[in-house]
Chains A and B, each alone.
Chain A
Amino acid sequence: MTDGTLPMPAIRSFRLPLAKAAPVVTVLLVIVAIWYAAAIGMNARWERDQAARAGTQIAPSQLVLRTLSQDRPVLPAPHQVAVGLYDGIAGQKITSRRSLVWHAWVTLSATLAGFAIGTAAGSALAIGIVHSRSMDQSVMPWAVASQTVPILAIAPMVIVVLSSMGITGLLPKALIAAWLSFFPVLVGMVKGLRTPDAMQLDQMRSWNASRAHVFWFLRLPASLPYLFASLKVAIAAALVGTIVAELPAGATAGLGARLLSGSYYGQTVQIWAALFTAAALAATLVAVVARVERITLRKMGMQA
């Protein structure tokens, strides 16, 4: 018998870093250009009003310069946001209330707690749905209904009710985050746990395997690719949930609170800096999950 193994895919697509980066950089430059144009357009009105009120004329070049350096612009220019970000991240002690690192940490800790709760709840419900006919028919409609309720309406109620019970801080926010993140996990896990086909199940039956065997040896490993796809959605949703939970009045910490106080005081630069921090946080979290996915699936011999 000849060696019938297939060649390992050793050679991955090999491209120069520059060639890889060029499209990304191009898109980025286009976005920045549009952003500057929009900033000039949106902020110009205020400058013209100012000039009219003072009874002076303003030269177009002067107008453009001023629109890009306002204190409270309608739309801050990219460089203003960059300065705001730099100041928030590197310009403060990270224990300071003005530090974006500190606010990001507050949000991150609630996000991770909510993600953990949501993943556990979603998985547990999925396992129940796959194994119990009555749960299969009763749980899913409620799970879907839970997601149709606007989170913006639910979040303040949960926060208020829990704080009246003396529960404040991380847990209420984590519960809102879990509310959003359990759903993708539930849907993905149900789908994943049901991927084994009739033949694989017959096979287990021919070995007189118990339900526990079928679960641990077949359903769970088969569901992992689906689980990871869901986890990426779930962790981003958990971050959104946490930020929404930080919006109701009273919250003073976290990126959501930062967004809200920025809008109270017209600090648009602060809003945008917080937004970008949140986006970077989301991207990082999803990337971490993707990395864990690759390592896990590769260890299991599946090509990720």
Chain B
Amino acid sequence: MSVIEAQNVSLTFPTADGPVHALSAVNLSIERGDFVSFIGPSGCGKTTLLRSIAALETPTGGSMSVAGRDPDAARKARAYGYVFQAPGLFPWRTIAGNISLPLEIMGFSKSGRAERVARVLDLVELEGFGGKYPWQLSGGMQQRASIARALAFDADILLMDEPFGALDEIVRDRLNEALLQLWRKTGKTIGFVTHSIPEAVYLSTRIVVMSPRPGRITRIIDSPLPAERPLDIRDTPEFIALAHEVREALREGHAHD
């Protein structure tokens, strides 16, 4: 059963220079437990598509469903956790306090909150850092805390918008590996926006290649890679072939430029 479904979705922003077609005729179906990456150059609408799934944008055409209902109802039912490009931790709250924030808003009991905070801190390997303030943590640790926050209320869907884009490559590799482990452990459906080909290939079960003007899907590639992926899988011929295929698809989308 597909968890996220988009049929002929389009989204147009009115601007002073005329309408901008951020999304055009997008058809997509994401199955439960999929790890789907959205990749493409800037302006291809990958973030807009993710935000539409999260009901942070409203498509101007087509239909969309998330967890069996319309995206806004899914948002209100707290069907997804969203990880933004920046950690966005509140400086006046400790790490535990930050992770507990959505739980407070959602009305979890105090003991329920404490139990969940401890569990997700463990999940992102930040046990022992709950009492620290954000400025006391490195950028990578802050982003892991923000992932923990998105996981804390047990949404089945995790939407991530270039979560590691601001981090250096060494930290990014480690976090990618940790994210894969976390995905296997929790069985969540993940939507992941990136502009890095290796990152998309390493993480995904499906790669959605997008192109700009108007923002659209040019190809959806199913990954033949096994679920178990050590970091050195990136040196195998299968990985390199897949990365090549993604690169070709990106180039196709640019053919008319």
- When distances are taken between beta carbons in the complex, the residues of chain B under 8 Å from A203 are 82, 84, 88
**B90 contacts A221, C-beta separation under 8 Å:** yes
Determine, out of B11-19, B100-108, B224-232, B239-247, the stretch whose residues face the partner at the interface: B100-108
**A206 contacts B92, C-beta separation under 8 Å:** no
- How many CB-defined contacts (below 8 Å) exist between A and B? 66
**A301 contacts B75, C-beta separation under 8 Å:** no
Within 148-171 of B, Cβ neighbours of A (below 8 Å) are at 153
| Contacting residue for A301 out of B56, B86, B94, B138, CB 8 A | B94
**B105 contacts A1, C-beta separation under 8 Å:** no
Within 91-127 of B, Cβ neighbours of A (below 8 Å) are at 91-94, 101-102, 104-106, 125
CB-CB nearest in chain B for A301: B133
| Contacting residue for A202 out of B56, B102, B135, CB 8 A | B56
- When distances are taken between beta carbons in the complex, the residues of chain B under 8 Å from A224 are 92
Would you give 15 A-B contacts (Cβ < 8 Å), ordered by A? A4-B141, A5-B129, A5-B132, A6-B138, A8-B136, A199-B88, A202-B56, A203-B82, A205-B75, A208-B105, A209-B105, A213-B105, A221-B92, A301-B94, A302-B92
B250 interfacial contact with A, CB 8 Å: no
**A207 contacts B105, C-beta separation under 8 Å:** yes
- Binary flags per residue of A187-208, CB closer than 8 Å to B gives 1, else 0: 0000000000001101111111
Given A5-B136, A300-B92, A301-B92, answer yes or no on A207-B84 (Cβ-Cβ < 8 Å): no
Complex Cα spacing A222 to B91, Å: 9
A218 interfacial contact with B, CB 8 Å: yes
Task: Report B89 CB to chain A, min CB distance, Å.
Answer: 10
- When distances are taken between beta carbons in the complex, the residues of chain B under 8 Å from A199 are 84-86, 88
> Which residues from chain A sit less than 8 Å from chain B, CB to CB?
1, 4-6, 8, 199-200, 202-209, 213, 217-218, 221-222, 224, 300-303
CB-CB nearest in chain B for A299: B92
**A206 contacts B93, C-beta separation under 8 Å:** no
- When distances are taken between beta carbons in the complex, the residues of chain B under 8 Å from A302 are 91-92
**B80 contacts A6, C-beta separation under 8 Å:** no
**A6 contacts B88, C-beta separation under 8 Å:** no
CB-CB nearest in chain A for B51: A202
Complex Cα spacing A6 to B134, Å: 10
Complex Cα spacing A38 to B115, Å: 73
- When distances are taken between beta carbons in the complex, the residues of chain A under 8 Å from B92 are 221, 224, 300-302
B32 interfacial contact with A, CB 8 Å: no
**B93 contacts A208, C-beta separation under 8 Å:** no
- When distances are taken between beta carbons in the complex, the residues of chain A under 8 Å from B94 are 301
| Contacting residue for A4 out of B56, B82, B138, CB 8 A | B138
Complex Cα spacing A205 to B74, Å: 12
| Contacting residue for B56 out of A1, A205, A209, CB 8 A | A205
**A303 contacts B135, C-beta separation under 8 Å:** yes
Task: Report A6 CB to chain B, min CB distance, Å.
Answer: 6
- When distances are taken between beta carbons in the complex, the residues of chain B under 8 Å from A1 are 125
- When distances are taken between beta carbons in the complex, the residues of chain A under 8 Å from B185 are none
Complex Cα spacing A203 to B81, Å: 9
Complex Cα spacing A295 to B56, Å: 38
Given A205-B56, A217-B105, A301-B94, answer yes or no on A4-B125 (Cβ-Cβ < 8 Å): no
- When distances are taken between beta carbons in the complex, the residues of chain A under 8 Å from B136 are 5-6, 8
Given A5-B136, A203-B88, answer yes or no on A217-B101 (Cβ-Cβ < 8 Å): yes
B256 interfacial contact with A, CB 8 Å: no
Complex Cα spacing A301 to B125, Å: 23
